[in-house]
Structure 1
Amino acid sequence: MKKRTRKIIKCLLVVIFMLFIFYMSSREGDKSTGDSSAVINFIKIYLGIDLDMISNGNASFIVRKTAHATEYMVLFILIYMVTKEYENIKRKVLLSLIITICYSISDEVHQYFVPGRDMRIFDVMVDSTGALIGVILLKIKNRLKKIHL
């Protein structure tokens, strides 16, 4: 595949994923709560794990924050894949991290205007943690690559 085509595809993946996050954040609070409940029920039915019992009724909170962290870990990795295509960018990881965190902040501002949703600095911290997990996974991958595993 040509380098230009590869860059375009990677950029499109970032935009599509950002649009997915925007869409999920655009859903009103009760719909978002319904999504969390569906995940909790799925885990209970198919894995036999009662998250509400294990977490003293905090299952919805745990599912939501895990979703936040996972979304932004994936976003960081996708953005990094784009920056990696440009040899003249020296601090690819840092730039990818900054872009991811800035998107998280903009997403929280967006949620301020969605009925039943709130703008929370805590969610930016959870999103940033997800991005940092992406950095750690990237470093582990690169280290394994160096020792030929």
Structure 2
Amino acid sequence: MKNKRKIIYWFLLMVWMIGIFIMSNQPAQISDSQSEGVINILSAIGINMNGIFGQLTNFIVRKCAHFLEYMVLSLLAFNVFKLYFNIRRVIFVTVAFVFFYACSDEIHQLFVLGREGAFRDVIIDTVGGITLILINLFRMHIVAKFNEDK
């Protein structure tokens, strides 16, 4: 069972990393159109992002996407690393992993048509990863407290 879990966790992490790579490999024009698609979907359900943020809307949607995709990366990495390390090391290794993957992603974007690598995005990505870790630690604390009270 543990080997099966290990394989699944590693597989999910690798698939997500490939997904991030593929998204980062898209030229700016395609990436912008995807952001516009999200904005249109939000407008269709009654959330007028353009009315709220104006010209910053596309920027905000893109940065939220960074934040969320690295939250997921952090969750998947956390699950992998907890198979090998104690919780303190899992936290450290997960944050380092997310940070360095974000750095490599931004370097990769330097070579993609119309894209740029920005350290600001590395920070956003890393904060997304740290946010997930904090949520996960809080969840683990609540579960431990609940089990303690039994």
Mapped to 1, the partners of 2:130 and 2:70 lie a distance apart of 9
In the alignment, what sits opposite 1:134?
Answer: 132
Give, in angstroms, the shift of residue 136 of structure 1.
1.2
In the alignment, what sits opposite 2:31?
Answer: 32
Stretches of structure 2 that go unaligned for 5 or more consecutive residues are none
Give, in angstroms, the shift of residue 90 of structure 1.
5.4
Distance of aligned partners of 1:87 and 1:122 in 2 relative to their CA distance in 1, 3 Å threshold: closer
Mapped to 1, the partners of 2:12 and 2:81 lie a distance apart of 13
In the alignment, what sits opposite 2:72?
Answer: 74
C-alpha root-mean-square deviation of aligned residues, in Å? 1.4
Mapped to 1, the partners of 2:46 and 2:118 lie a distance apart of 32
Please identify, of 32-41 and 130-139, the stretch whose mean Cα deviation from structure 2 is larger: 130-139
Name the count of aligned residue pairs. Answer: 147
More helix by share: 2
Give, in angstroms, the shift of residue 88 of structure 1.
6.2
In the alignment, what sits opposite 1:16?
Answer: 15
What code does the residue aligned with 2:72 have?
V
Residues 107-132 of structure 1 show CA distances to partners (whole Å, capped at 9, x for unaligned) of: 00000000010010000011011011
Task: Give aligned-pair identity as a percent.
Answer: 35
Please identify, of 59-68 and 136-145, the stretch whose mean Cα deviation from structure 2 is larger: 136-145
- Are 1:118 and 2:88 an aligned pair? no
Mapped to 2, the partners of 1:97 and 1:132 lie a distance apart of 6
Mapped to 2, the partners of 1:30 and 1:109 lie a distance apart of 19
What does 1:31-50 align with in structure 2 at a 5 Å threshold?
31-45=30-44, 47-50=45-48
In the alignment, what sits opposite 2:53?
Answer: 55
Give, in angstroms, the shift of residue 147 of structure 1.
2.2
Stretches of structure 1 that go unaligned for 5 or more consecutive residues are none
Give, in angstroms, the shift of residue 56 of structure 1.
2.6
Provide runs of 4+ in structure 1 moved above 4 Å. Answer: 87-90
